[in-house]
Amino acid sequence: MKKNITKITIAAVLLFTGALHMQAQNKEPRTFSGRNPKTGVVRCATVEYGSYLEEGNTELAAKNANFENWISQKIEERKLQRNGATTNEVITIPVVVHVIHNGDAVGSGENILDGQVISQITVLNQDFRRMAGTPGENSEEVGADTQIEFCLAQVKPDGTAFNGIDRVDMGQTNWATFDDVNLNLKPATIWDPEQYFNIWVVRFSTSNSAELNGILGYAQFPEGSTLNGVPTDPQATAASDGVVIGYRYFGSSVEFPEGDYATSLGYDRGRTTTHEVGHALGLRHIWGDGGSQSLGTSNCNATDYCNDTPYAKWDNWDCNAAYDTCPTKAGADMTNNYMDYTNDACMNIFTQDQMTRMHTVLENAQRRASLVTSVVCQPTAANPEFNLLQGINLYPNPTQGVLTIATQDSQLPDSYVIYNSLGQTIANVAVKGAANLTVDTSAYSNGVYFIKVDKGNATKTLKFIKN
Ligand SMILES: [Zn+2]
């Protein structure tokens, strides 16, 4: 017999007003397909967390069921638009790291040192950019510089200066269940997920009966868009968006040896977070989640929707490049892919198709596209340039004719550039007076455009639609 409870949580600092989450009680214990039978660790709980979110949320389940249909259309549109052209447009995602502790001194237990946090951002950039002198350099030819970077946010939601590390004493030693994290931790600590990519670093409970015992980390998958036939999301998952990582799997013992890491397990080089951020940007496990080594199930037809990651019948836990678990399909298992379950020292590759998926998500998905244009990594603490840009709006949007760039006070930006979805410049305007803040779009063809507004050293990019 199941009984539904509803819990409403309001995070007042956020732009959205609340989150409604329905959760079934009296559940059977959850089985994790990625629990290593030898060590007991769960390399990743993203699939199970996705199921958890869908329980009692039929709208989200419908939306998720439509995700591959939605993104495959977006990928096709993207290919047609680009027509084979390659671009060098590096995207930077602003990150806030919430270090969740129980009153410990900094550097003690789960209240990890700044250096350990910073080393994680370093590893994300090494892995996503396939940087020279880092493991990605040795990956095979299909390895991608994804042109995605990460920065620690430099400004808090209230406009004051910040180093990107938000230490929060939650008065609780550890976290035992998805419910506890989603209903208590996240709503109390999340920052606007349209502007910040939220990472929580926590101590998971190690009690044998705890749902999250042994888990390294998990991510919230993107939900596509509110457009294009995908249902809207009345039971908001906005208040839980981001990734959650166990503190001893966060950061890199190579980059910052002074930190506290699960070195003996081989998860001490920051690739738990690389993997989970891959999920948050739309990547699936390379074996397509059809089989599970620990559950003894296999499936050589499950796909991760990337053509350059060979089929595998299940997850791999060690770095054997000779594994070919689906010999009737082309290619050996890509055990070194960040989206397999191997140890940190093994992983060194995102592929071209994985890069395309992530960029398509970043260009189109709810709470992802807005991250790309967020200005919170610019060191603009409490400064008028930042505040001016924060207050800028475009109206009407969508537009058919004259578009107005509205500022909240009488200050003017210095200039702005308008470009189309291919990155081509349509207009470049120096702002001399208020008259320069209206744009006649009547001659523009229908579609998506961007306006990059400059003030001093700060910039903000806004999107508008001509129809
Ligand atoms: Zn995973």
Give the architecture-level CATH label for domain 10-364: 3-Layer(aba) Sandwich (3.40)
Q: What is the mean pLDDT of residues 347-373?
A: 93
- 53 CA from centroid of ligand 1 (Å): 16
Q: What is the pLDDT of residue 16?
A: 33
The tokens of 465 are what? Answer: 């639609």
State how far the Cα of 48 lies from the Cα of 65, in Å rounded to an integer: 15
Peptide bond into 398 cis (omega under 30): yes
Reported as a pLDDT band with limits 50, 70 and 90, residue 380 is low
Q: What is the mean pLDDT of residues 177-198?
A: 95
Q: What is the mean pLDDT of residues 96-105?
A: 97
**pLDDT over 50 at 270, yes or no:** yes
- 288 CA from centroid of ligand 1 (Å): 10
Say which range, 186-190, 218-222, 224-228, 459-463, has the weakest mean pLDDT: 224-228
| Plot region of 40 (φ>0 → left; ψ -120 to 50 → alpha; else → beta) | left
Bigger pLDDT: 446 vs 228? 446
- 91 CA from centroid of ligand 1 (Å): 23
Q: What is the pLDDT of residue 1?
A: 35
Beta bridge partners of 290: none
- 217 CA from centroid of ligand 1 (Å): 8
276 is catalytic: yes
Q: What is the pLDDT of residue 36?
A: 86
Q: What is the pLDDT of residue 299?
A: 97
Q: What is the pLDDT of residue 232?
A: 53
Reported as a pLDDT band with limits 50, 70 and 90, residue 230 is very low
Pick from 248, 281, 286: nearest CA to 128: 281
Domain range annotation of the chain: 10-364, 383-466
- 44 CA from centroid of ligand 1 (Å): 4
Ordered alpha helix ranges (H), 130-280: 178-179, 186-189, 271-280
**Three-state DSSP state, 199:** strand
**pLDDT over 80 at 225, yes or no:** no
pTM: 0.79
Which helix or strand (DSSP H or E) is residue 123 part of?
helix 114-129
Question: Exposed/middle/buried for 446, CB within 10 Å: 0-12, 13-18, 19+?
Answer: exposed
Q: What is the pLDDT of residue 322?
A: 87
Say which range, 8-12, 292-296, 310-314, 348-352, has the weakest mean pLDDT: 8-12
Which helix or strand (DSSP H or E) is residue 425 part of?
strand 425-430
Beta bridge partners of 453: 416, 460
- 156 CA from centroid of ligand 1 (Å): 30
The tokens of 239 are what? Answer: 């208040």
For the chain, the average pLDDT equals 87
Q: Note the CATH number of domain 383-466.
A: 2.60.40.3080
**pLDDT over 90 at 255, yes or no:** yes
Tens-digit pLDDT profile for residues 16-52: 333 333 444 456 788 999 998 788 899 999 999 999 9
Handedness of CA 49, 51, 57, 62 (dihedral sign): positive
Q: What is the pLDDT of residue 355?
A: 96
Catalytic one among 110, 194, 276, 385?
Answer: 276
